[in-house]
Amino acid sequence: MKVLLDTDLASAFAKVEWLELSVRLFAGVDLGIAFEVYKELLVPLEHDYYFPEAVFAVCETLYPHPEEMVTIQRRLVDMKALGRGELETITICQARGWFYAAIDQKAMAQYAFRGVDKPLSLQGAFPCISHLCSQGQ
């Protein structure tokens, strides 16, 4: 199972050193970030914040496919309330059936996942995975 993190959530988890722990705890859960999120995380790295290195160490960077890029371009015009990284992450998740994990309520409100009207939230994603792991699933 793949979970894509947006910039905000990836940053938050990295700062509290949760990312590496999550990977260890939840075998079978692959964490990823969209390329636009990767670029956003390069900015704090340039300003001597080192938490992005923790994100890059455990998250695979995913590049949008050509057809996804068309969708992203359209959404840049149609969904002006969201950032580029969020739009790219949401588009990749929807196209490939992956989970989208975020903090931002606005971003999550505009996302629908396979009949579930809410994506994984900061509070929801990892407690849920933990709960399922504890049940041996």
* Bridge partners for 31 per DSSP: 3
Residue 129 found at the interface with other proteins (CB under 8 A): yes
**SS3 assignment, position 62:** strand
Nearer to other proteins, 36 or 66 (CB): 36
Nearer to other proteins, 69 or 127 (CB): 127
Q: What is the DSSP string of 99-116?
A: EEEES-HHHHHT--BTTB
Among 58, 82, 92, 93, binds other proteins (CB under 8 A): 82
CA gap 118, 100 in Å, rounded: 10
Draw the binding track, 18-47, toward other proteins (x: CB under 8 A; -: no contact): --------x-xx----------x--xx--x
Tokens of 81: 């309330």
17 in Cβ contact with 44 (< 8 Å): no
Nearer to other proteins, 65 or 118 (CB): 118
CA distances from 130 to 10, 23, 109 (A): 18, 12, 24
List interacting residues with other proteins (CB under 8 A).
1, 6-8, 11, 26, 28-29, 40, 43-44, 47, 49, 80-86, 97, 99, 103-107, 113-114, 116, 118, 120-125, 127-129, 131-132, 137
